[in-house]
Structure 1
Amino acid sequence: MQRDILIGLAAGLAAALLVLAILSGSMLGFALLLLAPLPVTLATLSWGSRSGLVAAATAIAILAGLAGIRLGLAFGVSMALPAWGLAYLALAGFAATDKGQGRISLGSLIVVAALLSTFSALFTMLSMGTSYENVVESTEKALQEMLRDAPVPAGTDTTAFVHNFSRFMLPMSATLTTIMSAGGLWLSGRIARMSGRLPRPWPDVAALRLPHWLPILLGGACVVSLLPGGFGFAGQLLLCSLIGAFIVQGFAVVHYATRGNAARPMILGLVYLLLLFLSWIVLALVALLGLIDLFFNIRGLPGGRSQSPNTTN
């Protein structure tokens, strides 16, 4: 058996074990679930698309055998195959030159990640019910089950909280999925690069720029999100996924603008510390920064370009 197939089988086993950790019901299990696509992405970037596809298929088969076909299919459609597809495009499309400007730019790759996140959220929605109302009802039941034994502050209207949060949970998850897909691809690429297995030059990630036509798609998603029922909900998912793409560009601006600054570690540390405690406020501001940069090219303004560029971040 060829080595890339063996690597794929091992990566698939690792991915399946990470997914099965969620069955513990703990926060650690949830955190491990978020890392489940990494073995697939890493196998693809380090050993080729066939190895990554074997990893995805192996994980799906193991999960289907141990935890049921539904879980295996859900992981495959919502996490494993999108991770493989994104890594495949990363190998085939961008970084064909030392500046990372190949057939698919790095910014276009982030848009692909956003579209895959939308598809993933739509699949999750359809697996929970055939209509928007069914999805909201299923989400409310799941949240009520989670909060049944949780300590709740006195005076809190749990029913109203669950009802409102259930309508925003899937769209918010689409935003986070876009960010985590981009972050997972970056982390896998760094590991592959350190191991000497990355077959492409490392791109200047901080110079990432989204396509100029993206605001048109963003505006269309805004319009569709105002429609009632399932179409409006699908528009919300696309809108939130695209916001995730602008968040990625916003962080790229922060990293780019601080290059060559002696206080860079402190500035970046403060940004990520604030992100930990004020998550959605910071993410909203970073998304706005990414949108402004797309229109006004902040990194191209005098004084906005690094005096000591590097391609590590």
Structure 2
Amino acid sequence: MIAIFTVALAAGAASALMFASISSGVLISLLLAYSAPLPLLVVALGWGPLASVVSGIVATAALTTLSGLFRGIKFALGVALPAWWLGHLVLLGRPHNTATPTDRAGNLEWYPIERILIWILVIAVLTTVSILLPFGIDADAIAETVRQALQVVARQAETDWTPEQITFLAKLFAYLAPLFLPMSVTLMFTLNLWLAAKVALTSGRLHRPWTDLRNIVLPPVALAVLAAAVALCFAGGTIAMLAETVAGALLFAYAIVGFAALHILTLSARNRTFWLACVYVLAVMFYVPVLVMAALGVADAVLGLRQRFLQTRPPPLPAE
């Protein structure tokens, strides 16, 4: 028990320092802040819910001491609570209906990865809305708030920005932030959860079998929600902002499905590892490949591309 609390304390302190580093203004601090959920998720997957709660409390208390109550609350709601919940879901399992008392412990039905991804989307949407609402309730209000803030920055920094440039940047933020912020939050929690699971698996502390992510799919209702969200993006006002946020999160989820489909569809390709690496590098550097992967994910959901490919290529998949 002492060892568990020691690990939880260390993880909480590390997460708080990583999140607080963003105030330094150094470029590497962006990566550290982006990885702030990682220590909490590692503890949640490797040492259980109690250790996760302790690490979250320690991190929140440390951050409140370092940066104030507002930053501590923001960390607790935006990082610690989602990390605990996702870790809980990953370890959530129940015995199969066919399990006997002798094999019940080892024959569990684990919480589906697809539903965990849906929860990540919910977290991304709520986080994005909480970030944007202080700026305004629609694109025009957000643009005006950002324009005023940029004018203040331009005066204080004595830049040569023209009013037209400031207005353009403000409108660009107002119209793109609801789309790309949920993508960024979805990537943050998905990537950190995957890394935490890898760490727990490597250390022998992951208590559920590893899931082949190349088989991940979204429920059919997700496609209907995406179509409705895209249509409501043209409604204007607050509804359009919320719809764009939902559409951004779902598009990134379908991009994840698209990457999974790409891993299957390239099984017969020569230099497969090289081409996959190129796609991932381009996706990190630019957003366009992510949108292409989202289109591939939607096409796979509609046409069943992976199933059709595997029917023509029946050998088992190689381990990755």
TM-score bracket for this pair, using the shorter chain length: 0.7 to 0.9
Structure 1 residues 302 and 19, CA, compared in 2 at 3 Å: closer, same or farther? closer
Q: Which residue of 2 aligns with 1:113?
A: 120
Q: Which residue of 2 aligns with 1:168?
A: 176
1:196 aligns with 2:204: yes
Q: Which residue of 1 aligns with 2:132?
A: 125
Structure 2 stretches lacking a partner, 5+ long: 97-103
Distance (whole Å) between structure 1 residues aligned to residue 95 and residue 178 of structure 2: 33
Aligned pair partner of 2:218 in 177, 197, 210: 210
Q: Which residue of 2 aligns with 1:187?
A: 195
Please report the RMSD computed on the Cα atoms of aligned residues, expressed in angstroms: 3.1
1:220 aligns with 2:228: yes
Distance (whole Å) between structure 2 residues aligned to residue 150 and residue 305 of structure 1: 63
Q: Which residue of 1 aligns with 2:44?
A: 44
Give the % identical residues: 26
1:232 aligns with 2:232: no
Q: Deviations over 1:128-184 (max 9, x none)?
A: 246335544444455667778699999x93431232223312431101211222121
On the 8 A contact 1:257/1:306 being kept in 2, the answer is no
Structure 1 residues 184 and 145, CA, compared in 2 at 3 Å: closer, same or farther? farther
SS of residue matched to 1:157: helix
Distance (whole Å) between structure 2 residues aligned to residue 229 and residue 140 of structure 1: 18
Structure 1 residues 276 and 223, CA, compared in 2 at 3 Å: closer, same or farther? closer
Distance (whole Å) between structure 1 residues aligned to residue 158 and residue 274 of structure 2: 37
Q: Deviations over 1:262-308 (max 9, x none)?
A: 5121111111232244x121011000001111111111114575734
Distance (whole Å) between structure 1 residues aligned to residue 314 and residue 282 of structure 2: 24
Distance (whole Å) between structure 1 residues aligned to residue 152 and residue 87 of structure 2: 36
On the 8 A contact 1:7/1:43 being kept in 2, the answer is yes
Q: Which moved more, 1:9-18 or 1:156-165?
A: 156-165
The count of corresponding residues between Structure 1 and Structure 2 is 307
Distance (whole Å) between structure 1 residues aligned to residue 70 and residue 247 of structure 2: 27
Structure 1 residues 51 and 145, CA, compared in 2 at 3 Å: closer, same or farther? farther
- Structure 1 position 230, deviation (Å): 2.4
Structure 1 residues 292 and 230, CA, compared in 2 at 3 Å: closer, same or farther? same
Structure 1 residues 310 and 66, CA, compared in 2 at 3 Å: closer, same or farther? same
Structure 1 residues 198 and 61, CA, compared in 2 at 3 Å: closer, same or farther? same
On the 8 A contact 1:19/1:32 being kept in 2, the answer is yes
Q: Which residue of 1 aligns with 2:9?
A: 9
On the 8 A contact 1:246/1:288 being kept in 2, the answer is yes
Structure 1 residues 5 and 231, CA, compared in 2 at 3 Å: closer, same or farther? farther
Name the amino acid aligned to 1:309: L
Distance (whole Å) between structure 1 residues aligned to residue 125 and residue 5 of structure 2: 30
Structure 1 residues 170 and 217, CA, compared in 2 at 3 Å: closer, same or farther? closer
Q: Deviations over 1:28-56 (max 9, x none)?
A: 11111100011111111111122112222
- Structure 1 position 231, deviation (Å): 3.0
On the 8 A contact 1:299/1:305 being kept in 2, the answer is no
On the 8 A contact 2:258/2:298 being kept in 1, the answer is yes
Q: TM-score, normalised by structure 1?
A: 0.86
Name the amino acid aligned to 1:200: R
Q: Which moved more, 1:250-259 or 1:280-289?
A: 250-259
Distance (whole Å) between structure 1 residues aligned to residue 68 and residue 297 of structure 2: 41
Structure 1 stretches lacking a partner, 5+ long: none
1:296 aligns with 2:311: no
On the 8 A contact 1:247/1:286 being kept in 2, the answer is yes
Q: Which residue of 1 aligns with 2:101?
A: none
Structure 1 residues 140 and 175, CA, compared in 2 at 3 Å: closer, same or farther? farther
On the 8 A contact 2:19/2:32 being kept in 1, the answer is yes
Q: Which residue of 2 aligns with 1:266?
A: 274
Q: TM-score, normalised by structure 2?
A: 0.85
